[in-house]
Amino acid sequence: MQTKPFLIAAMLVALAMPAFAQAPAGAPTTIRGKITKVVGQVLTVKTREGPTVTIALAPTTTVRVLTRKKLSDIKNGDYLASTSMPGKDGKLHAIEVHYLPPAAPELQTPYDLQPNSVMTNAHVTGTAKVTGGTTLSLTYKGTPTAIIVDKKTVIVAPADGAMTDLKAGKAVFVRATKGADGSLASNSVTVEKNGVKPPM
């Protein structure tokens, strides 16, 4: 598992400004925060970084909610994403695991959830009990890797939501596109429901 290059890149990302502020026009931007209001197709979010942003939602916007899953629900062949942190043992330890659609790209790359975090999109090839948790054996683009899942790891799966689920106070995860004028637009929102917040 080649972790060091990812750590160096992630440290550089951590020193940068929030993604929604620095992304060039047309670039995908990750927005995490809480909804402050929804007016028509305009979503206003107070971001975790502090600023409040408005996001224009397309008429065809897909709204997703999440359901809790257990480690025992994960089977060989499942396609998963995991945000993980490198531990002192040199292994990746999962903060969260969520199920992916088949169209999502396989990868392992620095991620912006936390400084030094790594995102892995991969297929499950096996599990094994280890001290302090369970090792998920994964493969992405033919490359094997492993992630430790423990009792603190949040495991979720997506479910269909609706525009009516977008309510003030709910946590959201949005992948938006930044326009040349700095405006934000999106056609996909993952929102908190029944106490299950987007952990990614």
> pLDDT tens for residues 46-80?
999 999 999 999 999 999 999 999 999 999 999 99
Backbone angles phi, psi at 190, to 5 degrees: -110, 125
Joined tokens for residue 77: 């062949």
Is the domain of 169 the same as that of 153?
no
Of the chain, the percentage scoring pLDDT greater than 70 comes to 87
Is the domain of 138 the same as that of 167?
no
Of the chain, the percentage scoring pLDDT greater than 90 comes to 84
Closest of 76, 153, 140, 64 to residue 109, by C-alpha: 140
Whether 1 maps to a domain, the answer reads no
Whether 6 maps to a domain, the answer reads no
Is the domain of 72 the same as that of 126?
yes
Is the domain of 80 the same as that of 123?
yes
Is the domain of 76 the same as that of 151?
yes
The total number of structural domains in the chain stands at 2
Whether 14 maps to a domain, the answer reads no
Is the domain of 137 the same as that of 187?
no
Average pLDDT over residues 114-126: 97
Is the domain of 180 the same as that of 146?
no
User: Which residues make Cβ contacts (< 8 Å) with residue 64, sequence separation at least 6?
Assistant: 158, 159, 160, 161, 188, 189, 190, 191
Backbone angles phi, psi at 195, to 5 degrees: 80, 0
Whether 196 maps to a domain, the answer reads no
Whether 175 maps to a domain, the answer reads yes
| Domain interval for residue 49 | 23-66+159-191
Is the domain of 71 the same as that of 151?
yes
Is the domain of 42 the same as that of 86?
no
Is the domain of 109 the same as that of 72?
yes
CA separation for the pair 127, 181 (Å, rounded): 48
Whether 4 maps to a domain, the answer reads no
Over 60: is that where the pLDDT of 82 sits?
A: yes
Whether 200 maps to a domain, the answer reads no
Is the domain of 111 the same as that of 122?
yes
Whether 12 maps to a domain, the answer reads no
Cβ–Cβ under 8 Å, residues 169 and 79: no
Q: Report the CATH number that the domain containing residue 61 is assigned in CATH.
A: 2.40.50.140
Is the domain of 94 the same as that of 116?
yes
Over 70: is that where the pLDDT of 23 sits?
A: no
pLDDT, the chain, mean: 89
